[in-house]
Structures are given as structure tokens and as C-alpha cells.
Structure 1
Amino acid sequence: MPLTPLDIHNKEFSRSFRGYDEDEVDDFLERVIQDYEALIRQNKELEERLADMTERLKHFSNIEESLSKSIIVAQETAEEVKANARKEAQLILKEAEKNADRIVSEALNKSRKIAMEVEDVQKHAAIFRARFRSLIQAQLEMLESGDWDRFDQEVSTTVKEPAVFSNGSA
């Protein structure tokens, strides 16, 4: 069992003729030296362990700090990516709206143009029907008039007469 400071303090040496017993004092000092050396070794080991633990603590503190910084950078990057995605989405949406407006405008213009062409065709058809109706009515009036009878007679008399050719033979 190692000596305690109280043991050293309370140690009493027996008196001999010339003072303390030298052998007893030497034995005690030997025990003190051994215990003291053990304490020095133990203290040195503890100091080394403390230095190692301090070094490891610094290492882990650095890792923690790096991780914290990395998390912050990752969060900032994520926010930037989100903001850029929102901006890009807005740009795409605006472009799509412009394209939709352009397509609708073009469709309306084509629709108007086609409506005008349909109207033009309807006018031409109406004019054509009116002219065709007039022609048919004129033809009907001609059929109903007596002019056809006279035409039939002229055609009949022309057909009965011999045809005269330019060289004089029939």
C-alpha cells in the first residue's frame, strides 16, 4: 500500500544513541522514493493521456466545426438552388404565357382571316347563284317564248336543203 502524505507527516522515528535510527530512516526514505517514483510515473502517464485526450478533443472539435460549417454551406446552397429553381420556374412560366398569348393571338388572326374568306366565298356564291338564276330564267323565258318554234323551222329547212361544199360537189 502506497504512502499517503498523512503517513509521511505522522511518521515518527525511534531515537537511538545518535539520533534517529539510520536503518529505519533509510527504509522509510526508500519507501517514500518508491512511492514518489510511482506517483511521478503515474502523473506522467496521466499527463500523456490528458495531452492525448486534449488532442482528440481538438480533433473532434475541428470535425464538429467543419460539419457545422458544411451544414451551413449545404443549407445556403440548398436555399440558392431553391431560389434559382423558383426564378427559372417563373421565367419558364412567363415564356409559356407569352407563347400561349402568341398562339391565341395567331389563332384569333387565323380565325378572323378564315371568317373573312368564308364571308367572301359566301358573297361569291351568292353572286354566282344570282347570275346562274338569271341565266336559267332567261333560258326558261326563251323556251317559253315562241322563238324556239321559229328556230325549229329554220333548222328544219336548212337541214332539208342539200349542203353546198366549196368545191361544188354534193
Structure 2
Amino acid sequence: MPLTPLDIHNKEFTRGFRGYDEDEVNEFLDQVIKDYEAILREKKELFERVTDLDEKLEHFKNIEETLNKSILIAQETAEEVRRNAQKEAQLIVKEAEKNADRIINDALSKSRKIMIEMEELKKQASVYKMRFKMLIEAQLEMLNTDDWDEFVEREEDELEQNQS
């Protein structure tokens, strides 16, 4: 067990025949007591400071650990967000491709229907043109025949008879 300043102060030395000068020894002991008290105070202060710094160090270690965990969580979250965004982008692209295919197929189908309708209209127009031409030719032929002249004469004759 270490000495205390009180132990030093109360220490009694045995006296010898030609011993040390008592005042000089007391003066030296007083100086040792002061120094010893100063060292003990400093030790206590340093111990308190070390304890305080240990507590702060522990606190900062906890903060560091928490920050490290937070960084890991943030990295994992960022990676998960990136993966989800990538999946969503792929889904959007697939959906867009499906829609594009559907739109193209619809457009091709409509185009085919329009082409078929156009061909049908061309055929109908050709048939109409041919029939109309035949009608006009028939009417011209009828106008160019002698039957027309006879018809006109007969009509005139009938008119004259009705008037008389």
C-alpha cells in the first residue's frame, strides 16, 4: 500500500548517537510531503481526466459504429433502390415494346383493310365506268339508228292527227 502524506508526516525515526539534524530532516520531510501531495493530486486529476476521456472515447466509438452501420444501411438502400429502378426501367421498356408492337400491328391491319377497300373501290369504279360507257354507247347507237327517225316521224304524225 502506498504511503500517504500523513504517513510521511507522522514518521518517527529512532535517534542514534550522532543522528541527523532534526530540523533539516523535518524540513526535508515537509518538502517531500508537499511534493507527494502534489503528485497525488495530479494523479487524481489525471485519473479523472483519463476516465473522462475514456467515456468520451467510448461515446465516439459508439457514434462511429452507428455511423458505420448507417453508411452500410444507406449503401444497401441505395443498391436496392438502384436494382428496383433497373427492374422498373426494364418493365417500362417491355411495356413500351409491347405497345409499339400492338400499335404497329394495328397500323398494318388498318393499312391492309384500306388497301383492300381501295382495290374494291377501284373495281367498282371500273365496273361503273364500263357500265356507264356501255349505256352511253347504247344511247348513241340508238340515236344513230333509223329507228329514232321513224319514232320521231310517228310521233309527229300522231300529233298532227290529234290536232285535226
Q: TM-score band (shorter)?
A: 0.7 to 0.9
Q: Take 2:161 and 2:56, find their aligned partners in 1: how far apart are those partners?
A: 140
Higher relative helix content: 2
- TM score, norm. by length of structure 2: 0.84
- TM score, norm. by length of structure 1: 0.81
Q: Take 1:42 and 1:57, find their aligned partners in 2: how far apart are those partners?
A: 22
Pairwise CA distance, 1:67 = 1.4
Pairwise CA distance, 1:35 = 1.0
The residue aligned with 1:27 is 27
Choose 96-105 or 62-71, whichever is displaced more. Answer: 62-71
The residue aligned with 2:141 is 141
Unaligned runs of 5+ in 1: 1-12, 164-170
Runs of 4+ more than 6 Å apart: none
Report percent identity of matched pairs.
59
Q: Take 1:79 and 1:158, find their aligned partners in 2: how far apart are those partners?
A: 108
Q: Take 1:158 and 1:62, find their aligned partners in 2: how far apart are those partners?
A: 131
- For the pair 1:37 / 2:30, whether they are aligned, the reply is no
Q: Take 1:51 and 1:87, find their aligned partners in 2: how far apart are those partners?
A: 53
Unaligned runs of 5+ in 2: 1-12
The residue aligned with 2:73 is 73
The residue aligned with 1:93 is 93
Pairwise CA distance, 1:160 = 2.7
Pairwise CA distance, 1:18 = 6.6
Pairwise CA distance, 1:16 = 7.0
User: What is the CA deviation profile of residues 26-62 of structure 1, one whole-angstrom value per residue up to 9, with x for unaligned ones?
Assistant: 2222221111111010000011111111111111222
The residue aligned with 1:102 is 102
Pairwise CA distance, 1:108 = 0.5
RMSD between aligned residues: 2.0
Q: Take 2:141 and 2:42, find their aligned partners in 1: how far apart are those partners?
A: 143
Q: Take 2:80 and 2:50, find their aligned partners in 1: how far apart are those partners?
A: 44
Q: Aligned letter for 1:69? A: K
